[in-house]
C-alpha cells in the first residue's frame, strides 16, 4: 500500500508543482524567456514578478490545481462521485473571485442556475460558441479522476462536461485520466494505438496531437502559437510528450515549463502524469516543500486514500 500511496501523492503533488513553476513562464515566448530567465527557470523563487505573476505568492498554484481540489474535496465529502457536489464546489470557488479563471469556465459558472443544471448550462455555452470552444480548462483539473478506483472513462467524461462540453475536451480528459489510473494502479498503460482508438471515440482531431506527442520533440507542438494557446489538444500533447520522452520528473517539469505558452496548465497535466509514473519520492523535495499550501494537498491525499482502501 505504500507504493500506491506514493503514486497517489506523486499525482497530486506533481500537478501542483507543475502548475506553480509553470506560472513563471505562462504566456511567454522564447524571446520573453530569454530576457526574463537568461539561465532558464528552475525554482519558484526565480519567477519573474511582473504585473501578472506578482498576484500570486511564491510557491502558490493557479486555478488549475484549485479546480482539481474542488473535485477531490467533493469526492471525499460524498465518498463517491456526485456531479452536483462538484458543480457546487466549482460555483463557490468561482464566486470567490479566483485569479486566473478561464473565459469558458467563467461563462459557464456565472450562469445563475448552473448548480441545478450544470451539464445543460455547459452544453448551451458550448453551442453558443458555434461548437468551437475547446479550451484546456477541463483537462487541467482531471488528474484526480485517474485516482478513482473504477469507472474512469465515465467519470472523466462527466466531470469534464460540467464546464467543457466539446468532445475534444472530453476525449483529452479521458485519455489523461485513463493513463494516470494505469500508472497509479500498475495496470497495463494504454499503448499508442489504444490511445488513437480511444481518441477517435470522441473526435478524429485528437489523433493528430497524439502523433505529434509520440514522434516529435517538444518544439513540434508549437506550444507558444498565439492561435492555439490554451487549446485542450495542445495541452494533451504536452502531457503525452513528457510521458513518452523524458527520463525523470524534473526533466519533464523543466522541459515543459521552459517551452512557454500556457505553461502552468501544460506542466500541471504533464507533471501529474509524471508524478503518477515515477511517484512522489522521485519529485525533488525543493519543489514539494516549496509549495506554500501543501497541507491542502495532504488533506485530499489522505481523504482519497481512505476511500480507496475501504
pLDDT of residue 1: 85
**Non-local CB neighbours of 244 within 8 Å, separated by 6+ positions:** 213, 214
pLDDT of residue 216: 80
Burial 145-157 (b: 16+ CB within 10 A, else e): bbbbeeebbebbb
Half-sphere exposure of 60 (CA within 13 A, CB side): 12
CA proximity to 173, closest of 189, 188, 191, 161: 161
What element of type H or E holds 183?
helix 167-184
Furthest C-alpha separation in the chain = 52
Which three cell numbers, joined as nine digits, stand for 221? 507542438
pLDDT of residue 5: 97
| Helix, strand, coil fractions of the chain, as percent rounded to 5 | 65, 0, 30
- The Cα-based distances of 13 to 69, 88, 102, 231, 296 in angstroms read 12, 24, 22, 24, 10
Instruction: Return the DSSP state at 44.
Output: G
For residue 96, count CB atoms less than 10 angstroms from its CB and return exposed for 0-12, middle for 13-18, buried for 19 or more.
exposed
Task: Write down the pTM of the prediction.
Answer: 0.98
Query: How far is 256 from 81, CA to CA, in rounded Å?
Result: 31
Structural domain harbouring 8: 2-309
Residue 116 is part of a domain; what is its CATH number?
A: 1.10.4080.10
Query: How far is 50 from 171, CA to CA, in rounded Å?
Result: 35
Query: How far is 161 from 36, CA to CA, in rounded Å?
Result: 37
Per-residue pLDDT of the chain (310 residues), as tens digits, is 899 999 999 999 999 999 999 999 999 999 999 999 999 999 999 999 999 999 999 999 999 999 999 999 999 999 999 999 999 999 999 999 999 999 999 999 999 999 999 999 999 999 999 999 999 999 999 999 999 999 999 999 999 999 999 999 999 999 999 999 999 999 999 999 999 999 999 999 999 999 999 998 999 999 999 999 999 999 999 999 999 999 999 999 999 999 999 999 999 999 999 999 999 999 999 999 999 999 999 999 999 999 998 7
- The Cα-based distances of 209 to 21, 241, 287 in angstroms read 24, 10, 29
Total domains in the fold of the chain: 1
**Non-local CB neighbours of 119 within 8 Å, separated by 6+ positions:** 83, 158, 161, 162, 165
Amino acid at each position: 500500500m505504500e507504493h500506491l500511496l506514493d503514486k497517489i501523492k506523486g499525482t497530486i503533488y506533481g500537478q501542483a508543482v507543475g502548475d506553480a513553476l509553470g506560472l513563471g513562464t505562462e504566456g511567454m515566448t522564447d524571446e520573453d524567456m530569454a530576457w526574463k530567465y537568461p539561465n532558464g527557470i528552475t525554482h519558484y523563487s526565480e519567477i519573474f514578478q511582473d504585473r501578472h505573476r506578482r498576484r500570486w505568492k511564491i510557491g502558490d498554484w493557479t486555478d488549475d490545481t484549485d479546480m482539481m481540489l474542488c473535485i477531490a474535496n467533493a469526492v471525499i465529502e460524498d465518498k463517491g462521485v456526485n456531479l452536483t457536489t462538484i458543480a457546487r464546489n466549482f460555483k463557490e470557488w468561482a464566486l470567490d473571485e479566483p485569479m486566473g479563471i478561464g473565459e469558458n469556465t467563467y461563462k459557464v459558472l456565472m450562469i445563475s442556475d448552473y448548480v441545478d443544471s450544470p451539464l445543460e448550462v455547459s452544453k448551451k455555452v458550448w453551442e453558443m460558441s458555434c461548437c468551437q470552444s475547446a479550451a484546456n480548462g477541463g483537462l487541467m483539473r482531471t488528474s484526480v479522476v485517474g485516482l478513482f478506483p473504477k469507472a474512469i472513462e465515465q467519470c472523466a467524461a462527466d466531470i469534464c462536461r460540467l464546464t467543457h462540453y466539446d468532445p475534444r475536451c472530453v476525449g483529452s480528459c479521458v485519455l489523461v485520466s485513463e493513463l494516470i489510473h494505469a500508472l497509479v494502479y500498475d495496470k497495463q498503460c494504454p499503448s499508442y494505438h489504444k490511445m488513437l482508438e480511444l481518441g477517435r471515440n470522441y473526435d478524429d482531431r485528437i489523433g493528430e496531437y497524439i502523433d505529434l506527442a509520440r514522434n516529435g520533440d517538444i518544439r513540434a507542438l508549437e506550444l507558444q502559437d498565439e492561435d492555439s494557446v490554451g487549446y485542450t489538444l495542445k495541452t494533451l500533447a504536452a502531457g503525452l510528450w513528457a510521458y513518452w520522452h523524458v527520463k525523470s520528473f524534473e526533466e519533464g517539469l523543466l522541459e515543459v515549463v521552459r517551452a512557454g505558452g500556457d505553461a502552468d496548465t501544460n506542466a500541471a497535466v504533464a507533471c501529474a502524469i509524471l508524478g503518477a509514473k515515477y511517484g512522489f519520492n522521485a519529485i525533488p523535495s525543493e519543489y514539494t516543500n516549496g509549495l506554500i499550501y501543501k497541507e491542502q494537498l495532504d488533506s485530499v491525499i489522505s481523504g482519497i486514500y481512505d476511500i480507496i482502501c475501504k
